[in-house]
Amino acid sequence: MRKQFLACLTACTLLFFSCSKDKPGTNLPQAPTAKAEYDHSNYGVYKGVIGRPNGIVDINLMNDGKVSAKIIIDNVTYLFTTTDLLLKDQPCVLVFHNANSYFKLYVSADGNYAAIEEFVLENYPFVKTVITKETSDAMVKRYETTYTSFSSTETYFMVLNNNKIGGLFEQNNTSTIAFTGIVSGNDILISSYNEYYLTGQTSGENISGKWDIGNSSGTWTSKRVY
């Protein structure tokens, strides 16, 4: 299982409805956009990563007086909107749409829990996401990771929020599995199925490390792109 976990990381691209180009790794924010008044509310900013295809998602729930969402895949931005009712400090379920694609967002009253379900993108039946709430004192960062496994090199995305890491690996071209990790100082541990697989160190906006499982080993590097 562990070797399969490492061997099956793949990168995907998405070609469906057209929108604007958005180049990653440029003009990176250096401070949270989330407002302090919404740190413990369902209002605020939610950010995450997408697996299969790889990308990111940004959701704004009245942080600036508006409700909106965008997805960036293959450097292209896709805008999503909703007409569902959103009440402050109340649990909510919002369905965001763009053409024939949509996703359903669940958020608790205090914003501590947020999840996307029923993510439907044309031609991609196995889309999964990991999202987290950004607060005024903890900026969410997204990284593009290059992973050398056995005889191949793969790419995926992960999200870092304060001292926690989350992301998604693709498995067997048919499904995705989530991973989590922790940050202590400059040291990183990443795991799945409650076992640690990768170690690394942060340096500015970059992360690098190694994996070593059984008779197999390799390296991985990450750079912040959003």
pLDDT of residue 20: 46
Name the residue with higher pLDDT: 172 or 5: 172
Question: Over 70: is that where the pLDDT of 170 sits?
Answer: no
Global pTM value: 0.81
pLDDT score, position 110 = 97
The full DSSP string for 106-136 is EE-TTSS-EEEEEEEBTTBTT-EEEEEEEBT
| pLDDT tens for each residue of 72-98 | 887 888 899 999 999 999 999 999 999
Strand segments, DSSP code E, in the chain are 20-21, 44-51, 55-61, 67-73, 76-80, 92-98, 101-107, 114-120, 128-134, 140-149, 152-161, 164-171, 175-184, 187-192, 195-203, 206-213, 216-224
Residue 16 banded pLDDT, cuts 50, 70, 90: very low
Query: Averaging pLDDT over each range in 21-35, 91-105, 175-189, which range is the top one?
Result: 91-105
